[in-house]
Amino acid sequence: MSGRVLIGSIFGILMLAATASHAGTVSFGETLINADLNGTFSVDLRIDFTGDATLGGGLDIFFDSSALNFSSFDFGVAPSLDPSFNRLPNLVLNADPLQSKLEGLAFGSFAGITGPEVIGTLTFQATAVGSSALSLAVTTDPSKGGEFISSSTFSLQVVDFGSAAIQVSAVPVPAAAWLFGSGLIALAGVVKKRKTLETGQH
């Protein structure tokens, strides 16, 4: 192998490593969320573009609409966001509930966003017992935020997206035990009262 080819190979490897190390991340505040049936839960949306600040971009958030109802998304008070860039997502319900999504949640700033910080909070209602998931993907439509752009090179950025698992239970175990115990106490009281009445009649 010639020296030129070797140097080229090493340079390519270093460039790949640099790209990977500067990848931005968009993730949820929790990766495992426990929720009660018919109850609501909230989860933060976090970003980190340390090493390569972003001008912004758009996200799609996928969820199982047979198990979850979208309630709201509220942008936080992240100091690096320019509110004029903020775009609330469109709710897109699909015949395949696993393909339902919040489309085009966008944010950005001409000054560049580094993070790490929370950009907002999602709220859902749990409507079915069992497991489901939240996942993220980039919005390719420029009118809805589009790809993420580096504030230093103005090129497309590599973004690693996180996910979260949702576990919905019918009744929390402590509450179920408390209700069962309360039922036994009430039943014992009824039986005792009946015996007292029967004794008094004799």
Count of domains forming the chain:
1
Asked if residue 2 belongs to a domain, the reply is no
Span 95-139, pLDDT tens digits: 999 999 999 999 999 999 999 999 999 999 999 999 999 999 999
Asked if residue 88 belongs to a domain, the reply is yes
Q: How far apart are CA 8 and CA 177, in angstroms?
A: 67
Span 130-170, pLDDT tens digits: 999 999 999 999 999 999 999 999 999 999 999 999 999 99
Q: What is the CATH number of the domain that holds 139?
A: 2.60.40.680
The residues, any chain, with a CB within 8 Å of residue 47's CB and separated by 6 or more, are: 24, 25, 26, 54, 113, 115, 116, 117, 119
Asked if residue 7 belongs to a domain, the reply is no
**Residue 133 and residue 97 in contact, taking contact as beta carbons nearer than 8 Å:** no
Asked if residue 74 belongs to a domain, the reply is yes
Residue 198's pLDDT band, with cuts at 50, 70 and 90, is low
**Residue 29 and residue 43 in contact, taking contact as beta carbons nearer than 8 Å:** yes
Domain with 62, as residue range(s), is 24-195
User: Which pLDDT score, from 0 to 100, does residue 186 have?
Assistant: 58
Asked if residue 92 belongs to a domain, the reply is yes
